[in-house]
């Protein structure tokens, strides 16, 4: 099939019209409705690790459609190429690929005789065999009870001959979710486009997401509510003690599904009030972070710019789960980024609500827990 035979001549252009090709038997055309669509690939091929640098991808996980990978080089190296690449899907070719080729790290001339000072680790310490000199090995430890290193497993690094450290310094975070300390507010979109079946999937997902956290005035304080054109304060859930968690399943079952419209900015204003209220309830001796999670399938009908600016200036870490149904309306990427202020905090589900599974719940929970990290990794989660 498709082989081509041509003659050999001693004058020019003799083969232009004399080509013969084997076409095979004529195939019967299928009725358009009987065509079965090609299945969308689930993942892109993973990008290679960056030598003399770091590659950290959004917790979607890496190869899934919508996953974003961010690259950075170690001290003493400069990045050649794009610092960010995103996994996208081409409907015409039915292929998934990262939009940018992976970059590389190029050595920059160093005049120092030592690796750069690594500073200190909050709630931990650094112990080095030979200070910052070549081939010195530094070990990292968390000394405060209830804290652990992040990223997990990064417990040492080495000063290379080129005066760069093999890895960045990790940080010590509270064991999470078991010993996390934060104020967590979750907004659930209950507009008419969701549908009752998907609404129940969303409720089960949120319940499983927070079930592993410990609640109390010295741990996590939470508030969960639904919104559409209005904020439903009647069914709003407050979790401020272990006793509240005991009755959590029943509280979720009582949250109704009705209404229409998506007034996200109005709901964000309500979320800010809940964060302020939870901050007052926490013990003053506890260092608390504020986390906001928005789960939605559509664009807001009101302007979110002003309120998201207030939340950002308050230090609130905002996450958004953007769910696009297979035949649903396109999401407003610009508006969602206004909410999160960080591309790594915007997680896409292009396969609809079925993507709210255990794997995605674990990835989101890890991202929320890692937000407390105050080193280079904070900007790459």
- Convert the pLDDT of each residue in 366-380 to its tens digit: 888 876 664 333 333
Q: What's the full length of the chain, in residues?
A: 381
Per-residue model confidence as pLDDT tens digits over 336-349: 999 999 888 999 88
pLDDT, residue 374, reads 43
- Low-confidence stretches of the chain (pLDDT beneath 50): 34-35, 374-381
Beta strands 231-239 and 220-227, pairing class? antiparallel
pLDDT, residue 193, reads 86
Tell me if 202 sits within 8 A of 166, measured CB to CB. no
Per-residue model confidence as pLDDT tens digits over 8-62: 667 666 666 555 555 555 555 555 554 455 565 578 888 888 999 999 888 666 7
pLDDT, residue 185, reads 97
């Amino acid at each position: 099939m498709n082989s081509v035979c041509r003659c050999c001549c001693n004058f020019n252009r003799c083969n232009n019209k004399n080509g013969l090709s084997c076409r095979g038997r004529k195939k019967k055309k299928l009725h358009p409705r009987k065509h079965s669509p090609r299945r969308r690939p689930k993942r892109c091929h993973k990008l290679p690790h960056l030598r003399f640098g770091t590659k950290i991808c959004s917790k979607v996980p890496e190869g899934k459609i919508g996953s974003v990978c961010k690259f950075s080089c170690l001290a003493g190296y400069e990045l050649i190429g794009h610092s960010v690449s995103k996994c996208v899907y081409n409907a015409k070719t039915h292929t998934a690929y990262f939009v940018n080729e992976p970059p590389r790290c190029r050595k920059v001339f160093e005049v120092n005789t030592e690796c750069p000072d690594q500073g200190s680790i909050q709630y931990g310490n650094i112990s080095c065999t030979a200070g910052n000199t070549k081939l010195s090995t530094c070990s990292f430890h968390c000394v405060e009870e209830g804290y652990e290193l992040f990223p997990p497993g990064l417990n040492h690094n080495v000063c290379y001959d080129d005066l760069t450290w093999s890895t960045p310094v990790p940080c010590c975070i509270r064991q999470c979710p078991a010993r996390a300390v934060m104020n967590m507010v979750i907004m659930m979109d209950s507009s008419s486009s969701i549908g009752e079946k998907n609404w129940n999937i969303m409720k089960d997902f949120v319940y499983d997401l927070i079930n592993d956290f410990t609640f109390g005035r010295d741990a996590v304080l939470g508030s969960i509510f639904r919104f559409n054109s209005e904020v439903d304060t009647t069914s709003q859930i407050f979790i401020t003690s272990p006793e509240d968690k005991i009755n959590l399943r029943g509280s979720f079952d009582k949250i109704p599904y009705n209404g229409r419209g998506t007034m996200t900015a109005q709901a964000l204003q309500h979320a800010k009030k809940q964060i302020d209220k939870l901050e007052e309830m926490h013990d003053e001796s506890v260092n608390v972070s504020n986390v906001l999670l928005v789960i939605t399938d559509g664009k807001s009908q009101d302007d979110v710019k002003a309120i998201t600016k207030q939340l950002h200036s308050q230090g609130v870490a905002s996450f958004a789960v953007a769910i696009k149904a297979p035949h649903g309306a396109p999401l407003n990427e610009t508006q969602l980024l206004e909410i999160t202020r960080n591309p790594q905090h915007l997680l896409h589900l292009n396969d609809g609500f079925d993507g709210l599974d255990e794997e995605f719940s674990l990835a989101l929970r890890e991202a929320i827990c890692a937000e407390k990290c105050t080193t280079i990794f904070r900007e790459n989660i």
